[in-house]
Structure 1
Amino acid sequence: MQLQGSYFFLVFLGIVSVTIDCSDHEHENTTMTTFNVLDYGAVSGGTTDNSRAFLEAWNAACSSEAENPTLIIPRRRFLLNPIIFNGPCNAQNINFLILGRLLAPKSPEAWKELDPGQWLAFHGVNGLKVAGPGTIDGRGQGWWDQSCKYHPKLVGCTSRAPTALKVLSCKKSSLRDIHVINSSQAHILIEGCDGIHIENLIIEAPGNSPNTDGIHIQASHNVIINNTIIGSGDDCVSIGDHISNIAISYVKCGPGHGISIGSLGKSGNFVQVENIHVSKVSLQGTTNGVRIKTWQVGKGYVRGVTFEDIFLDSVKNPIIIDQNYCKVSGACEELPTGVHISDVSFNNFYGTSSTNVAINLNCSRSVPCTGILLKSIYLRSAKLGQNVTSSCRNAYGIAFGVVQPSPCIQI
Structure 2
Amino acid sequence: MKAMVVFALMLIFGVFSADLPFSSAQTIFNVLDYGAKADGKTDDSNAFSAAWKAACSAATQNPTVVVPRSKDFLVYPLTFQGPCKSSNISFQVIGTINAPSSPSAWRGRNSRRWLIFHGVTGLLITGNGTFNGHGSEWWDLSCTDHPNMAGCATVIPMALNIISCKQSTISDIYTIDSAKFHVVVNQSSDILVENVHVTAPESSPNTDGIHVELSQNVLVNNSVIATGDDCVSIGELSSNITVSYITCGPGHGVSIGSLGKYGNSVKVEDIHVKKINFKGTTNGVRIKTWQIGLGYVRNISFEHITLESVKNPIYIDQYYCDINGTRGNCEPKSTGVHISEVTYDDIVGTSSSNTAINLNCSQSVACTGIHLSSIKIESDKSGKQVISECTNAHGTNSGVVQPKSCLQS
TM-score (norm 1): 0.91
Q: Structure 1 CA distance, aligned partners of 2:142 and 2:384? A: 37
* Partner-residue secondary structure (3-state), 1:110: helix
Q: Structure 2 CA distance, aligned partners of 1:153 and 1:337? A: 30
Greater shift, 258-267 or 29-38, is seen at 29-38
2:404 matched to 1:409?
no
Which of 329, 335, 338 pairs up with 2:336? 338
Which residue number in structure 1 is paired with residue 8 of structure 2? Answer: none
Q: Structure 2 CA distance, aligned partners of 1:299 and 1:32? A: 49
Q: Structure 2 CA distance, aligned partners of 1:333 and 1:32? A: 60
Which of 69, 80, 88 pairs up with 2:83? 88
Which of 364, 367, 374 pairs up with 2:365? 367
2:62 matched to 1:64?
no
Which residue number in structure 2 is paired with residue 40 of structure 1? Answer: 34
CA contact (8 A) 2:222 2:245 kept: yes
**Alignment-mate amino acid for residue 43 of structure 1:** K
Identity of aligned residues (%): 54
- Per the TM alignment, residue 297 of structure 1 is displaced from its structure 2 partner at its CA by 1.1
Q: Structure 2 CA distance, aligned partners of 1:31 and 1:360? A: 55
Which residue number in structure 1 is paired with residue 115 of structure 2? Answer: 120
Q: Structure 2 CA distance, aligned partners of 1:195 and 1:176? A: 14
* Partner-residue secondary structure (3-state), 2:349: strand
Q: Structure 2 CA distance, aligned partners of 1:142 and 1:51? A: 21
Which residue number in structure 2 is paired with residue 50 of structure 1? Answer: 44
5 Å-filtered alignment, 1:1-400, equals 33-75=27-69, 76-328=71-323, 329-400=327-398
Q: Structure 2 CA distance, aligned partners of 1:148 and 1:204? A: 22
**Given the superposition, is the C-alpha separation of residues 152 and 269 from structure 1 closer, same or farther in structure 2, using an over 3 Å criterion?**
closer
For residues 104-154 of structure 1, the C-alpha deviation after alignment (integer angstroms, 9 at most, x for no partner) is: 111111110122111111011111100021000001111112222223343
CA contact (8 A) 2:247 2:277 kept: yes
**Given the superposition, is the C-alpha separation of residues 370 and 36 from structure 1 closer, same or farther in structure 2, using an over 3 Å criterion?**
same
**Alignment-mate amino acid for residue 40 of structure 2:** G
For residues 328-360 of structure 1, the C-alpha deviation after alignment (integer angstroms, 9 at most, x for no partner) is: 444222222111100000000000000000000
Structure 2 unaligned segments of length 5 or more: list them.
Answer: 1-16
Structure 1: 4+ residue segments shifted above 4 A: 29-32
Structure 1 unaligned segments of length 5 or more: list them.
Answer: 1-19
Q: Structure 2 CA distance, aligned partners of 1:374 and 1:141? A: 41
* Partner-residue secondary structure (3-state), 2:193: strand
CA contact (8 A) 2:322 2:328 kept: no
Q: Structure 2 CA distance, aligned partners of 1:113 and 1:41? A: 24
**Alignment-mate amino acid for residue 113 of structure 1:** G
CA contact (8 A) 2:25 2:62 kept: no
**Alignment-mate amino acid for residue 369 of structure 1:** C
Q: Structure 2 CA distance, aligned partners of 1:288 and 1:154? A: 28
CA contact (8 A) 1:30 1:36 kept: no
